[in-house]
Amino acid sequence: MQFKERLLLENRAWSETMSDRDPEFFSRLRNGQSPEAFWLGCSDSRVPAEQLSNASPGDLFVHRNVANVAAIADDGFMSALEYAIGVLEVRYLIVCGHEGCGGIGAACSGQPTGMPHVDAHLSGVTDMCRGHAGPDVDTAAPAHVNAMVHHNVARQAAALAELALVREARVKPTVLGLVYAIDRGTLECICEHKPHDGPLSRVA
């Protein structure tokens, strides 16, 4: 069976299963959305936000990119964030990274990937990784890459919490930084910025 046919067949099976479980499920979705959280995650196919958080359609407003970067200069990211805060009035902003992230590994190497858009997107992450490199550091070691995953999540969460868009929101969201362990399937919360916490310091 070709990919397209399999995709459509699986969709039909899923829709029928959901309708059997809850006949009003799709009718409720048609009436609008009120997600509780905006989720900034990595594009990695192994870390789908809804599945790993056991969420249902309508629970999360999701934006994903390489290495879960809060890309302030990217209209795609900022428009999603702006809509989540200004229209949906989400109560949580989540930055979710994952261990073994290929984007973080590329940034740790300090070498161009040969993909100009990827390199530009990861430039800030590469600078962060460079600050944690040294002659005695094996930047390719999984433990080091995973440490940089944690640092990156903390940096991106702090950057989100400092945005005027976030701090001046009518419904002020809490910012959570999560790291997903692919080999265990578990999430860990590594940082939290609640509304009215005052000035925030960046994590280097």
Over residues 161-188, mean pLDDT: 97
Catalytic member of 6, 12, 28, 46: 46
28 lies in the same domain as 38: no
Catalytic member of 44, 63, 96, 121: 44
Tell me: the pLDDT tens digits for 90-143?
999 999 999 999 999 999 999 999 999 999 999 999 999 999 887 788 988 999
Structural domain tally of the chain?
Answer: 2
Tell me: the pLDDT tens digits for 19-69?
999 999 999 999 999 999 999 999 999 999 999 999 999 999 999 999 999
Q: Is 42 a catalytic residue?
A: yes
6 lies in the same domain as 93: no
Residues 157, 191: contact at Cβ < 8 Å?
yes
pLDDT value at residue 196? 63
Residues 105, 192: contact at Cβ < 8 Å?
no
Block residue for tokens 């790993």: 52
Over residues 60-89, mean pLDDT: 98
Catalytic member of 98, 150, 151, 193: 98
14 lies in the same domain as 44: no
Q: Is 98 a catalytic residue?
A: yes
16 lies in the same domain as 66: no
Over residues 158-173, mean pLDDT: 96
Q: Which residues pair with 40 in a beta bridge?
A: 63, 95
pLDDT value at residue 1? 86
pLDDT value at residue 137? 84
Q: Is 132 a catalytic residue?
A: no
The C-alpha atoms of residue 102 and residue 23 are separated, in whole angstroms, by: 41
Tell me: the pLDDT tens digits for 145-161?
999 999 999 999 999 99
Q: Is 155 a catalytic residue?
A: no
Sequence-ordered alpha helix ranges (H) in the chain: 3-21, 25-30, 49-52, 75-86, 102-109, 116-121, 123-131, 142-162, 164-167
26 lies in the same domain as 38: no
Q: Which domain holds residue 59?
A: 34-193
Catalytic member of 63, 96, 101, 121: 101
pLDDT value at residue 162? 95
Would you say residue 65 lies in a domain? yes
8 lies in the same domain as 106: no
17 lies in the same domain as 85: no
Quick check: 80 pLDDT over 50?
yes
